[in-house]
Structure formats: structure tokens, C-alpha cells
Chain A
Amino acid sequence: MGLATSVLRSRTLAALTSPHGVDRYLELVNPMWAAHEVRARVVDVHREVDVPGHPPVATITLQPTSTWRGHRAGQHVQVGVEIDGARRTTRVFTISSPDSRPGDRFTITLRANPEGLVSRYLVGRARPGTMVHLSQAQGEFVLPDAVPERILFISGGSGITPVMSMLRSLQRRTHRGHVTFLHYAQSPEHQIFAAELDEVRRSGHGIDVTLLHPELGDPALSPAYLERHVPGYRDVPTWACGPAPLIEAVKGAYADSPALRLEYFKPPKVAGSDAAEGDVVFSRSGAAGANTGDTLLDQAEALGLTPESGCRMGICFSCVSRKSEGTVRNVLTGEESSLPDEEIRICVSAPVGDCTVDL
């Protein structure tokens, strides 16, 4: 930690800038200055795949503030963007570049999901110079410090991103063992990182890359296929990442093998409209029940919880809570919202379908 950082994080400066904190002043001078928060400037936006009629995929290079503590290959990061210069919206994206040290540049690779405000913004509208807000790197889906000799990666679709970060890290660490990489994609045209994978395959540094397109007749994932491709696969340290059906197949094939490490890419559930269906889960307390259609505050209280609340009419904001999943309808406006990790006033929000609230 340099002298400047020590000063910026000192208790004296915190006392002098109380109650707002150092960062609230630094950001006004230069958005790349920070003592605690993490932000980044977009350095480059590179289109990876742009098939007409399909959402484009881009790799975005980010220069983080010096507060970035670095990441381990396989981790993800929360990225917040200001949509239309006003509404900050945050989503999680996997880092595609190899391990980074504090303050190092890194990349995220993402598909512009037609429903995704943030991914569409990043792929379509971010330009070099655009500022984004970051968390520190998160996630346990990482390579261990002592890398095993034999490694199997299995990924599907966008699940290739963390695996790519790991592959790149292994190459940089000059890993001498044997790596097998199985990737499932829709079609060769949709292949992200196609050129790089080709390069890896041909250079023959002990990395065996197989791209599979089951929709075009390639074998789907099965124990038999795995056994043929990687004999004794159940004992090979394996990292698998992809959409739910692929992960379910992998889990089935590995039974309870401790060699398997998983990461889901959850598909968002689409909720129905008016009818009260689904379940409401209050994750912190563990309380849960069938959705009655009442406001979340009423439902929480009916389940014996006593969340903080005040006016019960949406004006005092005492009851603001974090909804981690699901759709809610504002009972005053009728407006529905499906954003994950959203701050809502539970006194005027009724769930539409399944809903999870951090209470």
C-alpha cells in the first residue's frame, strides 16, 4: 500500500470528511481516484461474435481504480452502469482474462442478452472512457494454488468465460500437466474465442480442446462419452460451468465425486401476471410460504417475521429490503419489476410468482 493510499484510508481523513467519506470527495475530482470503492474505466470494447440475428458478444477491457484487489481465474465481478445517465443497474459478469494483481487491467466477456439492461449497455453502448462501478472479485469457482497435473474443463455456452480465464492463467503459469477441455455450443458460428482456441489446440502444449455441437449431431454429454474421452474422469479434478441442463448432466455423470467443482449460469425464471402463484422465501430468516398475493410486508408478518416498517403506504422507506430473486408488482402503480438484487419497499410490493427477499 503506497503512501497516498495510506493517507486516503487514514482515520484522520475519514474524520475530516465525515459523514460523507473520502470517496465522495475524490470522485468529484477524478472518477479514477478512490480510497475504498472500486470503479473502472472502459479501455476497449471488442466484438467477439456478431452473427446477424443473434445477440452479439463482446470482450470489454477495464482499467480498475487502484483499490481493485485483483482476481483469481474463474471469479466474477459485479458491474454497475448508469443507464441513461441516471439509473445505476448492477449485474454479475465473469472475468475472462487470466489472474490479475491489484490495480491490473482485466476483461469481461459477455453476450448482449436481449432482456439484460446491463449486458446490452456494455456491449452496445459502452465506449472507451465510460466509467463503471465494480465490486471486488467474488466466487469460489477457482483453480487451487497448487494446480493438479491432470485437469478437465467442461463448459457450455457463456460458461466458457471462467474456463477461458483458467486456461489463460494455466498457460501463463506454464502449467506442464495435461488439460482436457470440452465445450458445448450451439454452432461453430456462435463460438466465442474461436481463433484463440484454435491456436491453443494447434500449439499442442498439453491442452486438448474439443468443441461439440450436439444440435449438429455431436454426442451430448454422457458418462459413456466422458469415459471414452477421459478415462477414469470421476477422479480427474474437473471444473464445469454452463446452463442448468448441462450442469445437471455433469452432476449425474460424476455422482458424488469430490473431484467435481460446479458453477451454474442460472436462467432467469419468467413469472406469470396477476394470479397469486409461486412461493415466497425470506432468505435470512428461512421463513417461506405460498404466495398469497398480499404485499411482501403482510406476507412476512403473516409468517411471524417483524421486518422494519413504517407508514405501510410507500412513503417513508423504512421497509426497504433487498429482493434477491423474482418479480414484484408495485401495488400503487401496477408496475412490475424482475431485476435481481433490487431494493424494494415491501409495504407496496406484492410478489408475482416465486420471490426471494433478504429478510
Chain B
Amino acid sequence: MTATQHAAPDTAATTDAPESTASIFGRLTPEQLESFGEEMDAIRQRVLADLGEADATYIRNVVKAQRAFEIAGRALFYLPPAWPLAVASLSVSKILDNMEIGHNVMHGQYDWMGDPGLSSRMYEWDNVCPSEQWKYSHNYIHHTYTNILGKDRDIGYGILRMDEDQPWHPYYLGNPLYAFLLMVFFEWGVAMHDLEVENLVAGKRRIEDNKALHAGIMRKVKRQAVKDYLLFPALTGPLFPLTFAGNATANLVRNVWAFNIIFCGHFPAGVATFSQEECEDESRGQWYFRQLLGSANITGGKLFHLMTGNLSHQIEHHLFPDLPARRYPEVAEEVRDICERYELPYNTGPLGKQLFSVARKICRFALPDRKREDAVAPESETTLAA
């Protein structure tokens, strides 16, 4: 970050905007930013150098557990009274597969193991979104341009208004409804994310641009549907409808859980967003800084962290997306310590609190922001001008 860019936050710091990114960016001098970045790099190096058998054993055990839950779930559908248990088991399987295994493996967290079964290039998850497309929109776009308005398409996923700098439109009156639908159909939303439907509507993207993506999505959707809604139900013979409903329920449970955990990662109150201008020519330190300010954690026990795929440590995940997620709890202690020393916010709280905060935001941004309607425009202009 250059000195001139730094001048802007100082002038803007006097306005009454507690969440304003401008005021937060001003908290560190360029020198502090650099040493902050170096401290983060040091954590990364230390963990990388320490990777080994414990990490390999851990992820292999999670895979074993996931497969066991999956097989148990599929088998229990043969016992109609055990239906709830079957659904629970299959739901756990899908959650583990998508979150602690799939999401993390596709980040390349276990590529160092050289195991094709745990390789970011080979892994395909139990979800209708093809891993190839996910890696582009998530690993590249979202993790590189985290919370930069106009660049990070995960801000509202092109459907919701989740930030005051997204201009209001009567369409957004449906914010709570869209969020609810996205929760229920989350895997489908994720699968369609790369099609950039909002950009199609806005005329920034042509339908032909999606041709190659359609084929990949359809192939994956077909495989998932054949498995969950045809073959496994058919294998249970007369219990077909029950198994069908059970598989659908397990997919729904995974959708609801994943949606809620993921929405707590970037949307609770206090999480900052950034303009493209303030992120130009960003230094490594500033990138780390943005990841910290743009993410939020959820507190909880060990089992909870596992079931969230350690996305309960969204801050650490965004700082170190390619470190095995099981390391995030240990890394979090150091990150918190660094944040205290630099007097930086560290956004965390129990699931209930974070969810409530997200829900409030979804509802608040459904309506035009009366309070700041006049104030926002000139302020952002001063930032731009500087």
C-alpha cells in the first residue's frame, strides 16, 4: 500500500462508520503491515515444515469415518424403522465429504502427500457442483479477491445484497426469501455459481460463454442424481420411496448445514469489504490483512470444528488456505496473539450469535439504507479521489 493510498483512510476516519474499511485499513502503517505479513508468513512456514504423518493419519481417518457413515447410511435404509438413523448417517457422510474432506482437499491442503485420492487435481466431491468449476470460482476468485466488491462473487453470490455498497434495488426486497431458497438448494446454487447468471442478466456475459460449463455440470448432476435418486432407492426394492426421500433429506441436511456455516464466514457484522481501488498493487502484508478483516470465526468444540470442515476457523482458512485445516485451531492462537499486539479486530463468536448477525444483515439490506443514503456517496468519492 502506498503512502497516498494511506492518506485516504486518515481523512475518512473521522466519519461515523465503525465498519468502514477505510478506518480499519488506517490502523497499520506500511511498516506495520509489512511486519504483520512477515509474521503470517512465518506461521505458514513453520506449519509447512512440520507437516507429516500426523496430518496424513488425520485426513485418512476422516476419510475412513466418512466412508463408514456412508456405507452405514446406505445399509440402514433396508431397515425402515432405522430410517432417521440412516438419514443422519448419510447426512454426516455428505457433510464430512463436502467440508472437512472435499473443500480442504480441493484447496491442495494435502497435495504434499502425493496421494491421488487426496489430490486437489483429482478429488471429486459428493455434491452436484463439478470440482473443476468449484476450484476456479472458490480457490481462485473468492480466495484471491476476498471481499473485494465487484470482484469477489461470493459477496451475496450474485443473488443477495449483503453489503451497503451494493446499490439497493427493489429486487432485494426478496433478500430473506432468496437466502432461504439458497439454503435449501445450496448445492445447486454452488453448482450454478460459475454460470454467473447475474452477469448474464446484466449483459456482461454471453450465454455462449457458459456452453463448456453446462456440459460439466450436467455430467456431474446426472451422476449424483442416478446414484441418490435412482440406483440406491432401486436397490432397496419396495422401499424405493423411503430411500429416495431419505437421500433427498440427507442432501437437504447437508445443504442447510453448509449454508449456515459458510454464511457465518464472511457475513457477520463487523466483517469488512473492500473497494477495487484500495486493493490495487496490494502487498503480501496487505493481502493477509484483508483476509483477516474479511472473515469471521465461530467458536465451538472439537466435533463442531470437524463438522464445519474447520470453516469455523474461516479467518485462519483465509490466511492459510493451503494448510491442512486440522492445523487451524493451533494456528488460531498465534493469529489471535498477533491481532492483539497490532490491536486488530478478530471476529469470532458462538454459532447462534454469528447466525443472528447474518440473519439481521440479510433482512437489513433487503431495504434501502435510509440512514447512510446521503453520507455514503461523498465519502466513497473522497476515498476514490485520494
Contacts and interface: CB of A to CB of B under 8 A. Distances in A.
A87 B114 contact: yes
A332 B287 CA distance: 15
Nearest to A12: B231
Nearest to B52: A86
Interface stretch (B132-140, B185-193, B250-258): B132-140
Interface residues of B, number: 45
Contacts of B135: 316-318
Contact of B53 (A15, A25, A86): A86
Contacts of A272: none
Contact of A315 (B121, B126, B224, B322): B322
A87 B41 CA distance: 23
Contact of A311 (B41, B143, B235): B143
Contact of A89 (B51, B114, B121): B114
Interface string B90-134: 000000000000000001100111110101110011100000000
Interface stretch (A16-24, A186-194, A247-255): A16-24
Contacts of B126: 19-20
B353 interface: no
Contacts of A88: 113-115
B227 A16 contact: yes
B322 A86 contact: no
A320 interface: yes
A331 to B, nearest CB: 12
A311 B135 CA distance: 11
A313 B51 CA distance: 20
A189 B126 CA distance: 57
B45 interface: yes
Contact of A317 (B48, B56, B226, B322): B322
B280 to A, nearest CB: 15
Contacts of A317: 107-108, 111, 120-121, 135, 139, 322
Contacts of B57: 85
B275 interface: no
A37 to B, nearest CB: 9
A333 interface: yes
Contacts of A80: 114
A310 interface: yes
Given A315-B321, A317-B107, A16 B139 contact: no
A84 interface: yes
Contacts of A16: 227, 231-232, 235
B144 A313 contact: yes
B111 A316 contact: no
A314 B48 CA distance: 13
A37 B74 CA distance: 25
Given A28-B67, A333-B45, A316 B113 contact: no
A274 interface: no
A316 B143 CA distance: 8
Nearest to A18: B223
B64 interface: yes
Contacts of A82: 56
A84 B52 CA distance: 7
A318 B53 contact: no
A25 B74 CA distance: 14
A235 interface: no
Interface string A72-109: 00000000101011111110000000000000000000
A149 interface: no
Contact of A320 (B113, B115, B120, B144): B120
A140 interface: no
B55 interface: yes
A316 B114 contact: no
A311 B56 contact: no
Interface string B213-244: 00000001001101100011001000000000
Contacts of B227: 15-16, 18
B144 A315 contact: yes
A50 interface: no
Nearest to A80: B114
A227 interface: no
Nearest to B318: A315
Interface centre among B64, B125, B232, B321 (most CB of A within 10 A): B321
A85 B139 CA distance: 28
Contacts of B136: 310, 318
A277 to B, nearest CB: 27
Contacts of B223: 15, 18-19
A197 B43 CA distance: 57
Contacts of B231: 12, 15-16
B143 A315 contact: yes
B56 A316 contact: no
A82 B53 CA distance: 10
A15 B226 contact: yes
A192 B338 CA distance: 59
27 contacts: A15-B223, A16-B232, A16-B235, A18-B227, A19-B124, A19-B125, A19-B224, A24-B67, A25-B71, A82-B56, A86-B52, A88-B114, A88-B115, A90-B114, A310-B136, A310-B139, A311-B143, A313-B287, A315-B143, A315-B144, A315-B322, A316-B140, A316-B144, A317-B107, A317-B108, A320-B108, A333-B45
Q: Nearest 5 A-B pairs (CB), nearest first? A: A310-B140, A88-B114, A19-B124, A86-B56, A317-B108
Given A314-B322, A318-B136, A333-B45, 19 more contacts: A15-B226, A18-B227, A20-B126, A84-B52, A84-B53, A86-B53, A87-B112, A90-B114, A310-B140, A311-B140, A311-B143, A311-B144, A317-B107, A317-B135, A320-B111, A320-B120, A333-B48, A343-B114, A343-B121
